């Protein structure tokens, strides 16, 4: 039996109210001992106004909300105490509760909800995504997954795998009986259709991570071509120092913006050049790492002479990830502009072309509401599991084509199912659970 846990659920700081949450079999009894009114007969999902008192000392006037098992967030008895938003008062109440409970670990309330079958693992991850949502689209994606969109998709795929396994295992177990023969051609066709669906699901992973963590964009180019000016133009502020002196940006700068509801993380990197300055060398090395891990790289230049820098860049990242941006078009002759193809023209001085640049970036972020509602992968754990499923299913199809025996095919299908079950938490290890819930705040 799980013990009783408690924690402050609201962020650290002074506010109108603070909420202390306690969950476990003895949660109501523990709070009842220090509350001015009896809570034993209070109905579930009811709120009661009263006072927290310890040793005849008034601690605070509070509102107590009762949630009785199993109809609570964790599936256990849960009490939420809403007190005045003083750090001192909230800590004082928590100290009183901790005399008969223990401090919750990060994400432990949500972990208990999972262990008590209130939510599946994808919904648990979506709750954390919702807490960290920074834009309209990431908020919508988290809500859809929390509502079970991904779970339903995985469950349908599992049902099909189970159907295939049942057919083969019946054939293996009752080989000597007069059962109808399996139509191998039809079975292989259906397995290939399932494989195609799995591959499409895996392909949603990159966009899912972008929706959750943001599209990573690096501004790259020779010193003094206007990277920091474009950076500031995106932010509509003067976050980066802009001067005509090469090497002004000695380390990368990072900021986030919302672009039509999508989260975009912009990195202003140090200019790609050789330098004897040790501090600038460190900044350039860090910039290389940022560039390699960016989804898109804006190669910024202000004339033909910068193409030597483009050659350097194309050795670091694939050219499909590079967007060419010709800056300072306000001072360049039109005859020069004609020479460049597949290039975005802009000027931070006149703001020409900045909207075009944003439009180009949005092409890589477009996802329909239907796709989000259909269920997409949103983290590397889910992507890795689906890829293991596709690999096992490919082996199963190969074993049927090569007549290796139904035992081999059934084993491959079992591995495919296990990988999918890991996504929703039907199969889970302590390592996986710790990795997921350690990312939560303590009060959730």
DSSP-derived secondary structure for 365-421: T---HHHHHH----SHHHHHHHHHHHHHHHHHHHHHHTT--HHHHHHHHHHHHHHHH
Q: Which residues make beta-bridge pairs with 315?
A: none
CB 422 within 8 A of CB 154: no
- pLDDT of residue 208 exceeding 70, the answer is yes
Provide the whole-model pTM.
Answer: 0.82
Radius of gyration of the chain (CA): 29
* The token pair that represents 91 in the structure block: 């800590």
Q: Which residues make beta-bridge pairs with 205?
A: none
More confident residue, 216 or 327: 216
What is d(CA 66, CA 47) in angstroms, rounded to the nearest whole number?
A: 6
Mean pLDDT, residues 316-334 taken together: 86
Mean pLDDT, residues 83-91 taken together: 96
Q: Residues 390, 263, 389, CA angle at the centre, nearest 5°? A: 5
* The token pair that represents 112 in the structure block: 């208990």
Mean pLDDT, residues 157-177 taken together: 80
How does DSSP classify residue 351?
A: -
What does the pLDDT look like over 245-298, one tens digit per residue?
444 444 568 888 888 888 889 998 865 555 555 555 566 667 788 888 899 999
Strands 78-85 and 57-67: antiparallel
What is d(CA 376, CA 378) in angstroms, rounded to the nearest whole number?
A: 6
- pLDDT of residue 243 exceeding 50, the answer is no
What are the domain boundaries of the chain? 5-119, 127-210+373-427, 221-258+268-353
CATH of domain 5-119: 3.30.1360.120
CB 204 within 8 A of CB 423: no
Point out the least confidently predicted range of 6-10, 105-109, 211-215, 310-314. 310-314
- pLDDT of residue 338 exceeding 80, the answer is no
* The token pair that represents 300 in the structure block: 């910024």
Same fold, 127-210+373-427 and 221-258+268-353: no
- pLDDT of residue 334 exceeding 50, the answer is yes
Mean pLDDT, residues 185-201 taken together: 94
* The token pair that represents 204 in the structure block: 């949603």
What is d(CA 432, CA 409) in angstroms, rounded to the nearest whole number?
A: 28
How does DSSP classify residue 43?
A: P
Q: Tell me which fold the domain 127-210+373-427 belongs to.
A: 1.20.120
SS3 48: strand
What is d(CA 262, CA 101) in angstroms, rounded to the nearest whole number?
A: 42
- Note the pLDDT of residue 393: 96
What does the pLDDT look like over 107-139, one tens digit per residue?
999 999 999 999 999 999 999 999 999 888 999
What is d(CA 115, CA 154) in angstroms, rounded to the nearest whole number?
A: 19
Ramachandran region, residue 254 (left: φ > 0; alpha: ψ -120 to 50; beta: rest): beta
Mean pLDDT, residues 87-97 taken together: 96
- Note the pLDDT of residue 46: 97
SS3 223: coil
For residue 418, count other CB atoms closer than 10 A to its CB.
16
What does the pLDDT look like over 340-397, one tens digit per residue?
888 888 887 777 778 888 888 888 887 888 888 899 999 999 999 999 999 999 999 9
Point out the least confidently predicted range of 17-31, 80-94, 324-338. 324-338
* The token pair that represents 244 in the structure block: 């005509």
Q: Which helix (H) or strand (E) holds 6?
A: strand 5-8
- Note the pLDDT of residue 274: 57
Tell me what percent of the residues of the chain surpass a pLDDT of 70.
Answer: 90
* The token pair that represents 196 in the structure block: 């195609």
- pLDDT of residue 237 exceeding 90, the answer is no
* Closest CA relative to residue 352, chosen from 374, 330, 332, 370: 330
The CA-atom distances, in angstroms, between 424 and each of 123, 128, 158 are 8, 15, 11
Tell me the CATH architecture of domain 221-258+268-353.
3-Layer(aba) Sandwich (3.40)
What is d(CA 46, CA 28) in angstroms, rounded to the nearest whole number?
A: 13
What is d(CA 397, CA 191) in angstroms, rounded to the nearest whole number?
A: 7
- Note the pLDDT of residue 406: 85
DSSP-derived secondary structure for 62-120: EEEEEE-TTSSSSSS-EEEEEEEE-HHHHHHHHHHHTTSSEEPPTTHHHHHHHHTTSS-
What does the pLDDT look like over 253-262, one tens digit per residue?
888 888 888 8
- Note the pLDDT of residue 241: 37
What does the pLDDT look like over 401-438, one tens digit per residue?
988 888 899 999 999 999 999 999 987 777 778 878 88
How does DSSP classify residue 49?
A: E
- Note the pLDDT of residue 166: 86
- Note the pLDDT of residue 239: 45
- Note the pLDDT of residue 270: 66
Helices and strands per DSSP (H, E), number in the chain: 16, 12
Torsion angle, alpha carbons of 239, 244, 248, 253, to 10? 30
Provide the pLDDT confidence category of residue 305 given band limits of 50, 70 and 90.
low
CB 21 within 8 A of CB 9: yes
């Amino acid at each position: 039996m799980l013990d009783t846990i408690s924690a402050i659920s609201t962020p650290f700081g002074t506010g109108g109210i603070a909420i202390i949450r306690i969950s476990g079999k003895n949660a109501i009894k523990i709070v009842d001992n220090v509350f001015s009114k009896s809570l034993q007969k209070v109905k579930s999902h009811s709120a009661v106004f009263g006072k927290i008192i310890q040793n005849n000392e008034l601690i605070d006037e509070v509102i107590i909300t009762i949630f009785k098992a199993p109809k609570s967030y964790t599936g256990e008895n849960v009490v939420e105490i809403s007190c005045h938003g003083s750090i001192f008062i909230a800590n004082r109440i928590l100290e009183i509760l901790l005399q008969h409970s223990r401090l919750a670990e990060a994400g432990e309330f949500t972990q208990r909800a999972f262990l008590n079958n209130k939510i599946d693992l994808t919904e648990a991850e979506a709750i954390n995504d919702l807490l960290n949502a920074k834009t309209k689209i990431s908020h919508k994606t988290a809500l859809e997954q929390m509502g079970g969109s991904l779970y339903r998709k995985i469950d349908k795929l599992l049902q099909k795998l189970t159907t295939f396994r049942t057919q083969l295992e019946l054939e293996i177990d009752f080989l000597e009986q007069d059962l109808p023969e399996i139509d191998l051609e039809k079975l292989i066709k259906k397995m290939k259709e399932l494989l195609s669906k799995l591959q499409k699901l895996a392909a949603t992973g990159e966009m899912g991570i972008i929706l959750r963590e943001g599209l990573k964009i690096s501004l790259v180019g020779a010193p003094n071509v206007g990277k920091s000016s474009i950076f500031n133009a995106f932010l509509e502020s003067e976050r980066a120092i802009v001067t005509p002196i090469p090497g002004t940006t000695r380390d990368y700068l990072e900021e986030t913006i919302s672009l039509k509801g999508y989260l975009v993380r912009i990195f202003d990197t140090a200019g790609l050049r050789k330098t004897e300055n040790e501090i600038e060398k460190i900044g350039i090395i860090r910039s290389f790492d940022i560039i390699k891990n960016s989804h898109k790289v804006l190669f910024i230049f202000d004339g033909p002479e910068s193409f030597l820098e483009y050659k350097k860049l194309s050795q670091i990242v694939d050219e499909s990830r590079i967007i060419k941006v010709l800056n300072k078009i306000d001072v360049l002759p039109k005859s020069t502009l004609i020479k460049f193809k597949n290039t975005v023209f802009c000027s931070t001085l006149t703001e020409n072309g900045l909207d075009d640049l944003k439009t180009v970036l949005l092409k890589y972020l477009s996802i329909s509401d239907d796709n989000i509602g259909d269920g997409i992968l949103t983290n590397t754990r889910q992507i890795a599991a689906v890829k293991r499923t596709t690999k096992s299913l490919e082996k199963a199809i190969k074993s049927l084509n090569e007549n290796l025996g139904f035992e081999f095919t059934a084993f491959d299908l079992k591995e495919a199912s296990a990988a999918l079950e890991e996504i929703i938490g039907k199969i889970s290890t302590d390592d996986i659970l710790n990795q997921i819930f350690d990312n939560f705040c303590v009060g959730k």
